[in-house]
């Protein structure tokens, strides 16, 4: 997928999520005419376990707190790399002795101990000498975004070009923490950072599991046809979205698409149609699961969700909220969440 298409899809996704497509949300089609469910219960999904390491905690503390108080000193009296040095390096990553995509860099500034690279990379550079080329044996994490590299052992060939400077950080003790955070002790602060990282990684695992299960359900289902009314609605809202920004820029829609998205109007129409079909297809599948499992929304669930909208988007009243999105659309959003929770709860972890 090229960059322009990614930009377009990201914009469309935000549009559909934030506006709910259209304040009017009436459906004029029968699900059985458009979708046939395959297996959606008992989907097998790999169990992911992501531990928060001490290096994760140290890296976060350094970037979020200690970096605000760092001092930098030029290095002229040594050529051996130490922790907290800012070094200039060339590197190339290899999998089975073959260079992999996006694994090469030249004159790259890297602070040793910043956790900017995968675990083991920076640690192995400590003790290296300027001008030296070293081979670093590291392993990509199981949850790495590239399936080609996730969980794989690789070698990085790294040349240390120079030591740019030495970074000095304050000591992480109770006095420093009390003066610069809301915590009384370093221990309490470190614990809070670890808990935050654990929560973040748990959310990552949950989202990854949801994506894996839902992708399998989409693969198992059969889209018989797309309701033209639903497709038209998405395409209309897409045009409205971009037309608004085109008008603000004193451009015709076609000019805006060409200049801002970097694609032709014909490419825009093709991509828009593909995105509309993908989104409507997912919508049909979710609606079919809701219907098959007789999933309902209670008054309390609806009221709680409305209150979340009011709070999260700082909207003063329900009247103002319903001028932007209908109660029926909010109810549909709840049904989507409940349907996804249902298939996740019924998935089989392996």
What stretches of 199-338 adopt beta strand conformation (E)?
A: 222-223
Contact 308, 325 (CB under 8 A): no
With a CB cutoff of 8 Å and minimum separation 6, the contacts of 206 are: none
DSSP assignment string, 34-72: TEE----SS-EE--------HHHHHHHHHHHTGGGG-EE
Q: Which two tokens stand for residue 303?
A: 């009221």
CB 112 within 8 A of CB 84: yes
CA 344, distance to chain mean position in Å, is 19
Task: Tell how strand 153-168 and strand 71-74 pair up.
Answer: antiparallel
Angle at alpha carbon of residue 167, lines to 165 and 172, rounded to 5°: 170
89: β partners: 108, 160
CA distance 254 to 213: 38
Measured distance CA(205)–CA(212) in Å, rounded: 10
CA atoms within 13 A on the CB side of 168: 5
pLDDT tens string for the chain (350 positions)? 343 433 343 344 444 443 444 455 557 899 999 999 999 999 999 877 778 888 889 989 999 999 999 999 999 999 999 999 999 999 999 999 999 999 999 999 999 998 899 999 999 999 999 999 999 999 998 878 888 999 999 999 999 999 999 999 999 999 999 999 999 999 999 999 999 999 998 998 888 899 999 999 999 999 999 999 999 999 999 999 999 999 999 999 999 999 999 999 999 999 999 999 999 999 999 999 999 999 999 999 999 999 999 999 999 999 999 998 999 999 999 999 999 999 999 999 88
Bridge partners (DSSP) listed for residue 133: 159
Query: What CA–CA distance (Å, rounded) separates 121 from 84?
Result: 14
Q: What is the pLDDT of residue 24?
A: 52
SS (H, E, C) 166-179: EEECCCCCHHHHHH
Dist CA 70 CA 65 (whole Å)? 10
Cross-strand pairs, 9: none
Q: What pLDDT does 7 receive?
A: 38
Any residues with CB less than 8 A from the CB of 166 and at least 6 apart, and which? 72, 73, 74, 75, 82, 84, 85, 86
Domain ranges of the chain: 3-46+198-349, 71-168
User: Which residues lie closer than 8 Å to 201 by C-beta, 6 or more apart?
Assistant: 50, 52
In CATH, the number for domain 3-46+198-349 is 1.10.3120.10
Closest CA to 37 of 345, 336, 287, 295: 287
Please tell me the predicted confidence (pLDDT) of residue 1: 38
Counting every residue written for the chain, the total comes to 350
Q: How far apart are CA 193 and CA 173, in angstroms?
A: 15
71-168 CATH choice from 3.40.50.740, 3.10.20.740, 3.10.50.40, 3.40.50.200: 3.10.50.40
């Amino acid at each position: 997928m090229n960059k322009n298409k990614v930009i377009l899809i990201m914009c469309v996704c935000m549009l559909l999520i934030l506006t709910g497509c259209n304040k009017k949300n009436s459906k004029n089609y029968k699900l059985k005419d458009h979708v046939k469910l395959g297996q959606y219960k008992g989907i097998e999904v790999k169990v992911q376990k992501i531990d928060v390491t001490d290096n994760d905690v140290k890296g976060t503390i350094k970037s979020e707190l200690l970096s605000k108080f760092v001092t930098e000193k030029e290095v002229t009296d040594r050529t051996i790399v130490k922790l907290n040095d800012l070094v200039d390096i060339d590197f190339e990553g290899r999998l089975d002795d073959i260079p992999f995509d996006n694994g090469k860099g030249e004159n790259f500034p890297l602070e040793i101990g910043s956790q900017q690279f995968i675990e083991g990379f920076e640690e192995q550079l400590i003790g290296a000498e300027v001008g030296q080329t070293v081979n670093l044996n590291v392993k990509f994490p199981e949850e790495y975004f590239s399936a080609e590299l996730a969980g794989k052992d690789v070698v990085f060939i790294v040349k240390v070009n120079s030591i740019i400077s030495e970074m000095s950080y304050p000591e992480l003790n109770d006095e420093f923490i009390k003066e610069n955070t809301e915590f009384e002790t370093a221990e309490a602060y470190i614990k809070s950072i670890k808990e935050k990282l654990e929560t973040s990684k748990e959310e990552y695992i949950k989202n990854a599991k949801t994506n894996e299960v839902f992708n399998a359900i989409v693969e198992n289902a059969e889209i018989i046809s797309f309701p033209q009314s639903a497709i038209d609605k998405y395409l209309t809202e897409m045009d409205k979205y971009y037309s608004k920004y085109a008008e603000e820029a004193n451009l015709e829609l076609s000019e805006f698409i060409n200049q801002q998205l970097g694609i032709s109007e014909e490419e825009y129409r093709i991509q828009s149609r593909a995105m509309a079909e993908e989104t409507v297809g997912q919508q049909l599948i979710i609606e079919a699961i809701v219907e098959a499992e007789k999933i309902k929304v209670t008054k309390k669930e609806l009221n709680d969700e409305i209150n979340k909208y009011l709070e999260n988007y700082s909207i003063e009243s329900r009247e103002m909220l319903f001028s932007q999105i209908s109660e029926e659309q909010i109810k549909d959003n709840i049904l989507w969440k409940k349907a996804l929770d249902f298939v996740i709860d019924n998935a089989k972890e392996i």
